[in-house]
Amino acid sequence: MDAKLWVCGTNDRSRIESLAFRIWKPAFRDILPPDRLDYLFEWMYAPEKLEQQLADNDTRFYLLLHNGQDIGYAQLLFLDDHTKLEKLYVDQAFRKRKLGLWFLNALVGEVRARGFNVIRLQVNRANITAIDFYRKFGFTTIASKDFDVGEGHVMDDFVMEWRANQN
């Protein structure tokens, strides 16, 4: 498997935007209504928001490269007592090849290298494929929450957690 983890810098914004447009919208097209899909995409991937996050010392973006091609992206937020996996997406054309598993294991390595042993994430309750993927990796559901993201839009998510001593 020719996979590589790329740690993003401030000059990688366009690569993240390109991947997000190619991967994120299709991933949620069957889960979210069009107005909510557009709102959330703009809310998460506005250029100024990405620039701010890329410059933040507590946030890291990563790309998954396969044979030199950008095929996935992730975002980790390093908090006081745990790391939050904000985003983890792999291009649909490259799924079922264990690349997502490789990517998540590489991210766990990044988390552990910073001294963290707990990863939390939010996943849409209707995203069964992602929920199953995380459960197989060892994540457990610790809460079910609705998050108001403005303008009448709510993210209805499970909060999942992985602990180093589980694996």
Rounded Cα distance between 85 and 52, Å, is: 17
Give the pLDDT confidence of 11-21 residue by residue, as tens digits. 999 999 999 99
Give how many domains the chain has, as a whole number: 1
Tokens representing 34? 């069009």
Q: How many residues make up the chain in this entry?
A: 167
What is the mean pLDDT of the segment spanning 138-164?
Answer: 85
Q: What's 147's domain CATH number?
A: 3.40.630.30
- The whole-model pTM stands at 0.91
Which residue segment(s) compose the domain that 81 sits in? 3-166
Give the pLDDT confidence of 96-139 residue by residue, as tens digits. 899 999 999 999 999 999 999 999 999 989 899 999 999 999 99
SS (H, E, C) the chain: CCEEEEECCHHHHHHHHHHHHHHHHHHHCCCCCHHHHHHHHHHHHCHHHHHHHHHCCCEEEEEEEECCEEEEEEEEEECCCCEEEEEEEECHHHCCCCHHHHHHHHHHHHHHHCCCCEEEEEEECCCHHHHHHHHHHCCEEEEEEEEEEECCEEEEEEEEEEEHHHC
Q: What is the pLDDT of residue 69?
A: 97
> Is pLDDT of 10 > 80?
yes
Rounded Cα distance between 19 and 27, Å, is: 12
Contact 167, 134 (CB under 8 A): no
